[in-house]
Each structure stands twice: as structure tokens, then as C-alpha cells.
Amino acid sequence: MARQIGDVIVDLQNISLRFGGVKALTDISFNVREHEIRSIIGPNGAGKSSMLNVINGVYHPQEGQIFFKGALRKKMEPHEAAEQGIARTFQNIALFKGMTVLDNIMTGRNLKMKCNFLQHALYWGAAQKEEIAHRIKVEEVIEFLEIQDIRKTPVGRLPYGLQKRVELARALAAEPHILLLDEPMAGMNVEEKQDMCRFILDVNDHYGTTIVLIEHDMGVVMDISDRVVVLDYGKKIGDGEPDEVKNNPDVIKAYLGTTH
């Protein structure tokens, strides 16, 4: 592959997150480098999704620092994270059920659209041009993810696997620097998983998007990740390249298990 793994783009230092008395994350540090595929694995309740929520500003950790592109990040709201180029998909599909596939993906481009509601109301000149310019970008994503045939279908009517793909499309439409994927392959059959893996690798290769991935399918994780971080009960128990992690005794004990 031609892609070059670059410098550290997100650096998380000593992150701790509590909900009342429940410690979701305890003193976790790891980093993500530009253009890499970074996986987060661990048993249920290990704090993987919380980790993603910390990165894109849904949760604010009580302790620790986040450096984004080298700069210390202040407490930020999710829409600010989006403005800085962090997009994500959700574990439970978070599409806008009443809207068509096309409209859903168009929402991904909202931050790049500059017209106000009065211009939209007239739908003339600038507003229409803008709409069409973004439609062209969205159509590129639609083509990339091979969902041309369903673009006018309301997402509520689509099967699960396709909904996951539409959600990826919506995140991609924002042209993010970093893409956070929360279990993009959960509940899929083998073929759908293969497709999804191919799309993730293509995105990474074609757009150079940095990807942070949560996934339970170890075959997939070990195959496509550059580096893997392992969480257990909110603590980091392993970090490194797939082979390294695979042979880490703590990780085997907590999560991977052994064949008896």
C-alpha cells in the first residue's frame, strides 16, 4: 500500500472518565497517527464506546488531556469536533429514519454549506448552486460505497447491513480527517463483513482518512488494523501491532481466551 503513516494526530494522555461513582475509563493514554487504522478492542463494558465519545466531545473526561493535531484541546462540544474533521458512526445505527438515503448523506455535508434559511426559502441562485455542488460530492460517496440503487429510499425501509453502510456514507460525506467507527460490522453476515472491510480499507487508502475502529471480530481487527489498543474494565491492558497484542498474556486472559 502506498499510504504513509504520518505523525500523531490525536494524543490522549491519562484520560479518566467517571459517571458518578462508576469509573468508565481510568488513566488511559494512547495515540492515533495520521492515516493509520487504529482498533480499540476489549470485552463488553470495557469503555470502548466511551473512549470514542471522549474523542468527539460527547463526554468530557474529568482528568487527562487530549492533543489534537498537536494542540491541547479545550473542553469541546460534539459540533466543534465535527468542525475540526472528526466524524463517526454509532454502535446502534443513528440514521435519521424519516429521511431518504440521499438526504441522510446530505446532512453529512451541513458544515460545508453556507447559505442561510432565507436563501434556502427562495432556492434561487446561490442556494441552488450550493445544493447541487454538494449533491455532486454526495454522489461520489454514493458511488464509492455502491449504494446508487437505494438513494431515494427512506432509510427506515433498508435492511440492517445497508443501513450501516449508509451511516458510513453520511460520515464520509463530511470528508473527515478522522473517522470513528463504533462496531461497523456488528450483526453482519460474512459477506457483508467482507464488503465493509473492503470499504474501510478503501476509505483509508483512497481518502487517507485516519480510522479509529471498535470491533469484536478478531479476524477482522487483526487483519486490517495497523495498531490495536486493548481495554478492560476501563483500563488499558495492551497496545501495539496486532501480532504483539495477540501474544500479550494479559490480553489473552482478559479477552481473547485460549483454546483448551
Site residues (vs other proteins, CB under 8 A): 56, 58, 77-79, 81-83, 87-88, 90, 94-99, 103, 106-108, 110-111, 113, 115, 117, 120-123, 127-128, 131-132, 135-136, 139, 170, 174
C-beta of 180: minimal distance to other proteins in Å?
A: 9
Q: Which is nearer to other proteins, 33 or 120 (CB)?
A: 120
Q: Which is nearer to other proteins, 47 or 57 (CB)?
A: 57
The residue among 107, 226, 119 whose CA lies nearest residue 167 is 107
Q: Which is nearer to other proteins, 90 or 144 (CB)?
A: 90
Q: Which is nearer to other proteins, 126 or 252 (CB)?
A: 126
Name beta bridge partners: 166.
none
- Helix count (H) and strand count (E) of the chain? 10, 10
C-beta of 135: minimal distance to other proteins in Å?
A: 5
C-beta of 116: minimal distance to other proteins in Å?
A: 8
Q: Which is nearer to other proteins, 2 or 121 (CB)?
A: 121
Cell triple for 73: 484541546
C-beta of 121: minimal distance to other proteins in Å?
A: 4
Q: Which is nearer to other proteins, 47 or 176 (CB)?
A: 176
Beta strands in the chain (DSSP E): 8-19, 22-33, 37-41, 63-68, 71-72, 86-89, 178-182, 210-214, 227-232, 235-240
Phi, psi of 100 (to 5 degrees): -75, 165
C-beta of 201: minimal distance to other proteins in Å?
A: 24
What is the 3-class SS of 151-208, one letter each residue?
Answer: CCCEHHHCCHHHHHHHHHHHHHHCCCCEEEEECCCCCCCHHHHHHHHHHHHHHHHHCC
C-beta of 50: minimal distance to other proteins in Å?
A: 14
Question: Residue 180, Cβ neighbours under 10 Å: how many?
Answer: 27
